Amino acid sequence: WCVRQWWDSHEESSAGKSKTDSSGSKRGAPKSKKPSKKSSSSSKAGNEGFDSLKEAMDNALSSSEGIIAKRTIACLIVLLGYILSVNFKDYCWRLSTDLSNPTIIVKARLRDGRVIKLDDYREAYWWLRDNTPEDARIMAWWDYGYQITAISNRTTLADGNTWNHEHIALLGKALTAREEEGYEIARHLADYVLVWGGGG
C-alpha cells in the first residue's frame, strides 16, 4: 500500500514536471548558460524520492487501512508479550521448586519405580563428625568440600574455592587411579578418604 502510494505520487510529480518543461520550451524561455551539475541534480532527485516516499507512508498510515494495520500489529505484539510472559512465569516456578529442594537429602527412584529418600550424604558426613578425630584430614572430590567442612566440621583437602591446579590434579589422580596407586598418594595427604559409590 505504501509503495503504491509512493509510486502514484511519483508518477504524478514526474508528469507535472514534464508538462512544465514542455510549456517552457514552447514559450521560448531562454536557456541558462550555467552548466548543470550532475551531482546536485542526482541528490535533488534522491531527496525528492525520499520525500515522496515519506509522504506516501504518512498518507498510508493516516488512512483507515493504515490505522487498522497499526492496531492489528499492536494487538499481535501485546498477545506475543503475554504468551512469552506466561511461559517465563511457569519456567520460573518450576525452577524455583527444583532449587528449593535440599541437596543433601534427595529423592531417588528405584528400578521398579518406587520413590525413596536418599540420605547417604548426610549420614556419611555425620559419621565423619562422630567417628574421626577433630584434626582429621578428609580427602574427597572437591565438590563435597564445603559440605564436609560445614556438616562434619573436618578439614578437607579441596573445595570449590581451591585455585591450585596442581593440587586439584594430584587429588583427581589419587581418586581416579588404580587402588594401589591412589593409596600411595592419599596416605601422604589425608587421614580418611570419602568415596561415593552407587549402583542399581
**Predicted confidence band at 128 (pLDDT cuts at 50, 70, 90)?**
very high
Q: How far is CA 50 from CA 9, 53, 196, in A?
A: 12, 5, 73
- Kindly give the residue spans of alpha helices, DSSP state H, lying in the chain: 2-26, 38-62, 64-100, 120-131, 145-147, 165-176, 179-186
pLDDT at 38: 47
Extract the C-alpha cell encoding 149: 567442612
Which amino acid belongs to residue 181? E
Q: Mean per-residue pLDDT for 91-99?
A: 82
Higher pLDDT, residue 91 or 47: 91
Give the distance from CA 46 to its chain's centroid.
42
Residues 6+ apart with CB under 8 A from 95: none
Which percentage of the chain shows pLDDT scores above 90? 26
N- to C-terminal Cα distance for the chain? 68
Tens of pLDDT, residue by residue over 49-89, are 677 777 777 777 777 777 888 788 889 999 999 999 999 99
Tens of pLDDT, residue by residue over 17-38, are 554 444 444 444 444 444 444 4
- On whether the CB atoms of residues 107 and 119 are closer than 8 A, the answer is no
Extract the C-alpha cell encoding 131: 567417628
Look up the pTM and report it: 0.49
**Predicted confidence band at 149 (pLDDT cuts at 50, 70, 90)?**
very high
Higher pLDDT, residue 175 or 62: 175
Q: Mean per-residue pLDDT for 163-169?
A: 88
